[in-house]
Chain A
């Protein structure tokens, strides 16, 4: 996600300029991160509300700079390894990080964003 990509997107979508700029600043500080967890992002990016951040992330997905995948929280609250393009693909049982299977019925779905290229 280079500076030019952000700049172009911000010019194309001036209504999301502020959120894109904040995302760009965050990205510069976390250049080694390959997966963006929106929870972490919302905690660390100040001055932009959740809706604006989600819309900016969606713009980056549409531009092909990010890929949105869905993960599932295990009963202990961490994210299971499995990734799904769509929440409807999540099976009724999944292995946690210790390969113990758990029922996903009461689990939450968490979208995360993978860097593309």
Chain B
């Protein structure tokens, strides 16, 4: 039976398997693969394979849901509106009762934490924060959110509650 000629998808699969077997030699494996295709008189396929691979890897790395960015903006705006309402109520002569101080601080901290978390996750995944590359956007997003929550609760406790 005659063997089916390999498609770019087959070559991508082959190349990725070789890299997964030995990720510390990624560059050498890519260079070996390229040299092999060039020696086989098929440089064009090598170029196409590396181009498709680059696009596909990016799609795999962008693993935060598409609603992250709008959710970040909405949470931020809702938090802002909540505090604008409190300011308005204060201007009208009402006061926040002492028992409501912690819930107010909690709303502020959670609002900021969710907003930062969603926006950071999206920014990391889309490569807008070059420092992180676009590795583990969800982990970076969660860490950022938790950090903001702790910082605001701590500062808020000493400034507003104590």
Residues of A within 8 A of B (CB): 38-39, 41-43, 50-51, 53-55, 57-58, 61, 68, 70, 72-73, 76-78, 86-88, 90, 104-111
Q: A50-B52, A105-B25, A111-B54 are in contact. List 8 more A-B contacts (CB 8 A).
A: A38-B54, A42-B58, A43-B59, A54-B51, A70-B50, A77-B133, A106-B24, A109-B27
- Contact between chains at B127 and A77 (CB < 8 Å): yes
Binding site for A on B (CB under 8 A): 8-9, 23-28, 30-31, 34-35, 38, 44, 47-48, 50-52, 54-59, 62, 126-127, 130-135
Question: Which residue on chain B has the smallest CB distance to residue A79?
Answer: B130
CB-based contact B8/A76 at 8 Å? no
Q: Using Cβ atoms and an 8 Å threshold, which residues of chain B touch A105?
A: 24-28
Contact B52 A54 (CB under 8 A): yes
Known contacts: A38-B55, A77-B134. The answer to whether A104 contacts B27 by CB under 8 A is yes
Cβ contacts under 8 Å, A55 to chain B: 48
Cross-chain contact A50 with B34 (CB below 8 angstroms): no
B65 to chain A, nearest CB (A): 15
Question: A21 vs B29: C-alpha distance in the bound complex, in angstroms?
Answer: 35
- Most chain A C-beta atoms within 10 Å of own C-beta, residue among B23, B28, B31, B57: B31
Are the C-beta atoms of B51 and A43 separated by less than 8 Å? no
Q: Quick check: B50 and A111 within 8 Å, CB to CB?
A: yes
Q: Which residues of B contact A87 (CB under 8 A)?
A: 30-31, 34, 50
Q: What's the Cα separation between A104 and B30 when bound, in Å?
A: 11
Other-chain residue from B9, B58, B132 in contact with A51 (beta carbon distance below 8 A): B9
Residues in A with CB closer than 8 Å to B132 are 76-77
Shortest B31–chain A CB gap in Å is 5
Which residue of chain A is the closest to B62 with respect to CB atoms?
A43
CA distance A61 to B138 in the complex (A): 37
Residues of A within 8 A of B135 (CB): 77
Which residues of chain B are near A39, meaning CB under 8 Å?
54-55, 58, 127
C-alpha gap A7/B133 in the complex (Å): 37
Decide: A43 and B47 in contact? CB cutoff 8 A: no
Residues of B within 8 A of A86 (CB): 34
- Residues of chain A contacted by B48 (CB below 8 angstroms): 51, 54-55, 58
Q: List 7 A-B contacts (CB under 8 A).
A: A38-B55, A76-B133, A77-B127, A87-B34, A105-B25, A109-B27, A110-B54
Residues B24 and A50 in contact, CB atoms below 8 Å apart: no
Q: Are B55 and A54 in contact (CB under 8 A)?
A: yes
The distance from the CB of A26 to the nearest CB of chain B, in whole angstroms, is 14
A90 to B28: give the CA distance in the assembly, Å: 10
Residue of B nearest to A107 (CB): B27
User: Which of the listed residues B47, B59, B131 has the most CB atoms from chain A within 10 Å of its own CB?
Assistant: B47
